[in-house]
Structure 1
Amino acid sequence: MHEPALSPESNDSFNDQIRIVLVETSHSGNIGAVARAMKNMGLGNLWLVNPASFPDETSYARSAGASDVLDRAHVVSSLDEAVADCVMVMGTSARGRKVPWPVIPPPDAAATAVQQAESGKVALVFGRENHGLSNEELQRCHYHIHIPSNPDYSSLNLAMAVQVICYELRMFYLKSLEEGESRPYLQPMVAPGDEGWDSPPATAGEVEGFFGHFEQTLVDVNFHRRDNPRHLIARMRRLFQRARMDQMEVNILRGVLSSIQKAAGIQGSKEQSAGNAQDSQNKGQE
C-alpha cells in the first residue's frame, strides 16, 4: 500500500483557502486524475464526499506523482460537512434548472473564488461522473459554474472539468502577481527584443542590407528582372518584415544567399562579402 509522501500540514494559504470538493466519486482512478490536475495548477486541498473507494492503489497510480494531494485529502460523509466552514460555495452544472440560479463562466468563477478566499474558505464542488450534482446539492451553492463546452457533446470527464477550473484559478493567480514585485509567469516571448530572446532585433540598416543581397541573388540566378519587377520584391519585403527578424537570422539568411551565389559561380559584392564575414563570426559563436 502507498506510503504518505509528506506531512498533511501545509503553509500555502491560497491552497488552504480554496478547496476542490468531489461528491460521491464512483471511480477511484478519477480521484487520482483530479489530484494530478490540481497539482498541475498549484492546488492541493482536496475534499471527498462519500467516495465509492478511497484510498486505493488505483487512485495513487492515476495521480502520476500527485500522491501528496491524495495524502492530504479529507474524506467526509456529506456535502454539508465539506462546505460547513466555507464563506463561498460554487458548484459545476452542465444543464439548466427550472429555478434560475446565478451562473458564471470559469474565468469569473476563478476571480470570485480568489477574491472571496481573502475573507474565508471557498469550495468548488463537482458532482458524480454519471449525473453531476443533484438539484438539492446545487441549491447549497451561491453560484453555478457552467463550462461552455460543445452543446452537441457537452459531457466532460470529471478530471477534465476540474482541470478547466483549476487552470482559470492558476491564470488569475499569476495575473495577480503583476500587482506585486514578482515577475509574472505570463510574460510573453514572441519576438526579438522580448526578455529571454537569444539575439537582438535586426536594425533597419541590417534588414536593408539583406534585401539588397536578396534581390541581387534573385537577379544572379535569373529568377528576377529589375527592368520588369512586378510586385515580387514588394511581396518578399512584406514577408520578411512580417517575420521581424533578429540579427542572427539576418546573418544566416545572408550566408544562404552567398552560398547560392557561390554555387551559381557568381562573385558577390563587397557588401555581400562583409555580410558573409559577419555570418561566419556568428556561426563561430553558436
Structure 2
Amino acid sequence: MLANIRIVMVATTHPGNIGAAARAMKNMGLSDLALVNPKLFPSEEASSRASGADDILASAKVYESLDEAIAGSHRIIGASARLRTIAWPELTPRQCAEMTAAEGGQHQTAILFGREHAGLTNEELERCHYLLHIPCNPAFSSLNVAAAVQVVAYELFQAAQGAAGAKPETMPDLATGAEMESFHDHLIRTLFDIGFLHERKSSPALLRRLRRIFNRAALEKTDIHILRGILTTIQHRLGIRTC
C-alpha cells in the first residue's frame, strides 16, 4: 500500500520543508516524493532537515508541471486548509488512509501539498478527486506543509499496519491522471464544437463544475473509452476532423 502512494509538493519555497517532509515520509514508510517547480532543490538545507532521509531526497523526482507529476496516478487528493467556492468531496487524513488501505495499494494515489503561503490553486485542485482537510484550531488553521505531510503520513502508516495481511477489495481499473486530462480536453473541444461553450463567454466556474462531475465519478479506463467514443462520433457527425 505505502509503495503506491506518491507525495507531491507543489512550488515549495523553503528547501527545509522538503527535507522535513522527506524525514516524515521515511519515518512512516513512504518513499515516493515528487517535487513540482521547487524554488531551490537540491539544497544543503533540505539535506540537513532530512536528518538521515537522504535516500528519499536522492530518489525524489522533479517535474515542471503538476500534470506530469500525477500522469500515472489513479486517485488524486489535494490537501487544503481553505473552503472553496465549489464544494469538493472532502476527506480527513484518517478517511484518506482508510480508503487507501481498503484497496490494498492496487492503484497509485497522489497526495498534493501546495505552497507554504497559499496552498494549492483552484486550477490545481481541479485535478483532484478529493480535497483533504486536516481538522485543527479554527483560529489558527494554517499548518506548516512539512507538518501536514507528517500528519497524513502517520495516518497512512497506521492504516497500512492495520490492513497488513487482510485481503484487499477488488478494485476497478481506474483511469490515470493523464487519461482524465486527455478526456477533459476532448470534452471541452467538443463542447466548443457544438456551441455549448463560447470562447468569450465560457465561465471558469462552469468548466470547474464539469471537471468535478467526472472526477467525482471515479471513471474507469473503459468509461473513458466509451465517453471519448461518443465525443468523437459527435465531432464526425459535425464534419470536424479529430486528431
Q: TM-score, normalised by structure 1?
A: 0.56
Partner in structure 1 of residue 211 of structure 2: none
What does the per-residue CA deviation read over 1:226-265, in whole Å, with 9 as the maximum and x for residues that have no partner?
A: xxxxxxxxxxxxxxxxxxxxxxxxxxxxxxxxxxxxxxxx
Moved over 4 A (4+): none
Deviation at 1:132, TM superposition (A): 0.2
Higher relative contact order (CA 8 A, sep 6+): 2
How far apart, in 2, do the equivalents of 1:173 and 1:157 lie?
A: 24
Partner in structure 1 of residue 27 of structure 2: 40
2:144 counterpart letter in structure 1:
N
Partner in structure 1 of residue 233 of structure 2: none
CA RMSD, 1 decimal: 1.4
Matches within 5 A, 1:60-71: 60-71=47-58
Deviation at 1:154, TM superposition (A): 0.5
How far apart, in 2, do the equivalents of 1:164 and 1:149 lie?
A: 11
What does the per-residue CA deviation read over 1:81-139, in whole Å, with 9 as the maximum and x for residues that have no partner?
A: 11011100000011111111100111111122334563321100000000100011111
1:164 counterpart letter in structure 2:
V
Q: TM-score, normalised by structure 2?
A: 0.66
Unaligned 5+ segments in structure 1 are 1-13, 181-286
Greater gyration radius: 1
Matches within 5 A, 1:1-286: 14-116=1-103, 118-177=105-164, 179=166
> Contact (CA 8 Å) 2:25, 2:153: kept in 1 or not?
yes
> Contact (CA 8 Å) 1:116, 1:122: kept in 2 or not?
no
1:152 counterpart letter in structure 2:
A
Alignment partner of 1:51: what SS?
coil
Unaligned 5+ segments in structure 2 are 168-243
1:81 counterpart letter in structure 2:
E
What does the per-residue CA deviation read over 1:191-230, in whole Å, with 9 as the maximum and x for residues that have no partner?
A: xxxxxxxxxxxxxxxxxxxxxxxxxxxxxxxxxxxxxxxx
> Contact (CA 8 Å) 1:88, 1:116: kept in 2 or not?
no
How far apart, in 1, do the equivalents of 2:56 and 2:122 lie?
A: 29
